[in-house]
């Protein structure tokens, strides 16, 4: 779609009383400062949007005289189809006409929006408007016409391993979800890996005591079963009379009860020398006298109980000794205790070996699980790296697509954030490697014209371009649309349309 202004009528608008301009492919506007050159650009934007050429609020009323009716009228060609727009401000009220028919403000705005959408029109019409917007608006406006690189295009730029990792995943979920899943796997695998390593250490530590038991065995482990069989055979073949066995049993019982008596005496002696506590073990405050007496009474009861038990043991030992004296002592009694102790020791060694075998199985299973977790951890970490590389390559391809639209202009679309190891959206125009904010006025104008031309190509809509202060530009770039060129030239306002001089402004 191509929009051109065939005729522009400016009536009682700011410094102009009456001005008519016949449009053409090239309209030259010359005059000294303060002659209203920039006002012509403002009149066109006010007609459509009620703003100046920078999109800001504008008071259109005359500045040096009193006017009766302020209006702007423009006959535009929309792909060769004429449409007449008019906005009027009179008596503090604004009225609108379309093809000389009065319409409401909402209808007028809707027609304008369909033909000359505000941001797109102003970005072409005023080369300084685009870069005056917030960077997010600039980015959004430019990138909306450029298709983001497809997953396939990006994957083709990655390594074969990265492509293999991401290709199947991208068919199932979005890139952010892939990264989210990978990070969850890393977190889970790390926690499970830590738990498995702790379990392996615990199992191995538990096995150390059993290893010591096995190492202390005086015979080889493969000989234990044979030795146990020998001991059992030896115990079976023991021959000793009932008297000998009874005497041995009585002696063992007497010894056991004497040990019990010695233990009870030691406990009673210990209790007897224990002082009664006079402070609370918790709060460290002194205890009342009644409480101390209760403790001492309870302590004495325990001592008496142990002495009573000792007396009972003494009587039992006397009875056992009496029974032992009645038995005639014959030949020496065979004592099976050493053999039984040896067999018990060998059984402990076998039990320790069994536990170690079980422990080794558990350790092997835990190590296998740890290997799987380590692989999952490594794969997820690599997936995160692949996602980052995918984003970086996608950003690079997007920049290449945008930069291909320009000749001297480049665009920075992303900023690398080292702390996050990621790319954040950004936007800054550069011309010949110099950031826009550092360019001279003429260089800024050239950059803006190049952006305007790119927007024409991208959107398919060609709107008029108004180049203000063109005297500062040595060589103007070619623009594929209607152009208004304003230059500061000493003298009155003079307007030419393709060599034809317009009437001077009144």
Domains identified in the chain, total number:
2
Task: Return phi, psi of residue 332, to 5°.
Answer: -60, 140
* C-alpha pair distances (Å), 148 with each of 142, 145, 171, 454: 12, 9, 17, 17
Q: Is residue 305 part of a domain?
A: yes
Note whether 11 and 135 are same-domain residues: yes
Give me the CATH number covering residue 312.
Answer: 1.10.287
**pLDDT-based confidence at 334, cuts 50/70/90?**
low
Last residue of a domain, one of 310, 335, 360: 335
Q: Is residue 258 part of a domain?
A: yes
Domain that holds residue 305: 239-335
Q: Which residue spans within 448-491 are E strands per DSSP?
A: 465-467, 483-488
Q: Is residue 342 part of a domain?
A: no
Q: At residue 213, does pLDDT exceed 80?
A: yes
Q: Is residue 220 part of a domain?
A: no
Tell me the C-alpha distance between 303 and 466, whole Å: 114
Tell me the C-alpha distance between 397 and 391, whole Å: 10
Q: Which residues pair with 244 in a beta bridge?
A: none
Q: At residue 331, does pLDDT exceed 50?
A: no
Note whether 244 and 133 are same-domain residues: no
Q: Select the more confidently predicted residue: 293 or 393.
A: 393
Q: Is residue 419 part of a domain?
A: no
Q: At residue 506, does pLDDT exceed 50?
A: no
Q: Rounded mean pLDDT of 217-240?
A: 80
Last residue of a domain, one of 292, 320, 335: 335
Note whether 13 and 135 are same-domain residues: yes
Note whether 309 and 440 are same-domain residues: no
Which run of H or E residues covers position 194?
Answer: helix 175-215
Angle at 60 between CA 55 and CA 63, to 5 degrees: 130
Last residue of a domain, one of 276, 308, 335: 335
Q: Is residue 24 part of a domain?
A: yes
For 238-281, write each residue's pLDDT tens digit: 544 456 777 788 889 999 999 998 998 898 888 888 777 777 66
Give me the CATH number covering residue 32.
Answer: 3.40.50.300
Q: Is residue 92 part of a domain?
A: yes
For 172-202, write each residue's pLDDT tens digit: 999 999 999 999 999 999 999 999 999 999 9
Q: At residue 236, does pLDDT exceed 80?
A: no
Which pair of structure tokens corresponds to residue 279?
């402070």
Note whether 133 and 7 are same-domain residues: yes
Burial of 192 per CB tally in 10 Å (0-12, 13-18, 19+)? middle
Q: Is residue 261 part of a domain?
A: yes
């Amino acid at each position: 779609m191509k929009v051109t202004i065939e005729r522009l009528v400016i009536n009682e608008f700011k410094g102009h009383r009456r001005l008519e301009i016949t449009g053409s492919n090239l309209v030259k506007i010359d005059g000294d400062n303060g002659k209203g050159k920039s006002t012509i650009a403002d009149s066109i934007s006010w007609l459509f949007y009620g703003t100046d050429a920078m999109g800001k609020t504008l008071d259109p009323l005359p500045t040096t005289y009193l006017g009766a009716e302020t209006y702007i009228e423009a006959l535009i060609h929309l792909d060769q189809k004429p449409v007449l727009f008019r906005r009027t401000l009179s008596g503090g009220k604004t009225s609108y006409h379309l093809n000389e028919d009065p319409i409401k403000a909402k209808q007028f705005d809707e027609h304008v929006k369909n033909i000359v959408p505000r941001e797109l029109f102003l970005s072409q019409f005023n080369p300084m408007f685009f870069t005056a917007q917030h960077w997010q608006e600039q980015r959004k406006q430019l990138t909306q016409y450029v298709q983001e690189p497809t997953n396939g295009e990006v994957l083709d730029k990655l390594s074969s391993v990265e492509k293999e990792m991401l290709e199947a995943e991208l068919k199932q979920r979005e890139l952010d979800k892939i990264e989210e899943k990978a990070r969850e796997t890393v977190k889970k695998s790390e926690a499970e890996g830590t738990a498995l390593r702790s379990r392996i250490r615990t199992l191995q530590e538990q096995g150390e005591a059993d290893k010591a038991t096995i190492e202390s065995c005086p015979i080889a482990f493969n000989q234990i079963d044979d030795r146990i069989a020998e001991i059992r055979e030896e115990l079976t073949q023991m021959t000793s009379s009932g008297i000998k066995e009874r005497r041995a049993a009585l002696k063992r019982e007497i010894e056991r009860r004497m040990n019990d008596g010695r233990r009870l005496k030691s406990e009673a002696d210990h209790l007897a020398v224990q002082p009664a506590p006079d402070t609370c073990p918790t709060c460290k405050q002194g205890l009342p006298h009644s409480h101390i007496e209760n403790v001492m009474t309870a302590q004495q009861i325990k001592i008496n109980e142990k002495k009573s038990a000792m007396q009972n043991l003494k009587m039992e030992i006397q009875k056992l000794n009496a029974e032992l004296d009645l038995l005639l002592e014959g030949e020496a009694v065979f004592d099976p205790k050493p053999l039984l102790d040896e067999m018990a020791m060998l059984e402990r060694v076998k039990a320790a070996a069994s536990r170690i075998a079980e422990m080794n199985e558990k350790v092997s299973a835990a190590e296998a699980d740890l290997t799987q977790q380590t692989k999952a951890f490594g794969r997820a970490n690599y997936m995160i790296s692949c996602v980052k590389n995918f984003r970086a390559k996608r950003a690079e391809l997007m920049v290449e697509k945008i930069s291909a639209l320009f000749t001297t202009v480049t665009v920075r679309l992303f900023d690398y954030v080292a702390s996050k190891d990621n790319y954040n959206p950004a936007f800054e125009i550069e011309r010949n490697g110099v950031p826009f904010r550092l360019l001279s006025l003429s260089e800024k104008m050239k950059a803006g014209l190049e952006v305007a031309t790119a927007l024409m190509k991208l959107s398919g809509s060609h709107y008029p371009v108004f180049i203000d202060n063109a005297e500062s530009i040595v060589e103007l770039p070619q623009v594929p649309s209607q152009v208004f060129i304003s230059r500061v030239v000493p003298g009155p306002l003079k307007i030419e349309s393709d060599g034809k001089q317009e009437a001077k402004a009144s």
